[in-house]
Amino acid sequence: MIVLALGATFARQRGYIDQDTVLRLVIGANGLMIAWFGNRAPKIVAPSACARQITRFAGWSLVLSGLVYTGLWIFAPIPLAISLGTGVVAAGMIATLAYCLQLRARARAQAGK
């Protein structure tokens, strides 16, 4: 990440790319990091089946939101990429939280029977 930022800054100083391209490269790389973390999440050891379900869902939501975030930063106008990109990542986090709460409610309902 740091090497990308330094390389893009060096290229901008030499006149090869403009400031918007530097911004798009560096911020878009954040989306790729989110996707990478999402890809790693289901591979961690989880103590229960419920925890494994949550890590799989969280992994998918992080991968998808990270890739959409990167795509927005590559192709969309910068003001739109800021608002929609933030919304997409927040939606992925909210979806994961909602899934956790749903599994918790389902487990409590089954325990109460």
Retrieve residue 37's tokens.
Answer: 């973390």
At residue 113, the pLDDT reads 66
User: How confident is residue 45, by pLDDT bands cut at 50, 70 and 90?
Assistant: confident
Retrieve residue 93's tokens.
Answer: 């986090």
Record the pTM.
0.87
More confident residue, 41 or 63: 63
- Residue among 81, 82, 84, 90 at smallest CA distance from 62: 90
| pLDDT per residue as tens digits for the range 69-80 | 999 999 999 999
- Does the pLDDT of residue 112 top 90, yes or no? no
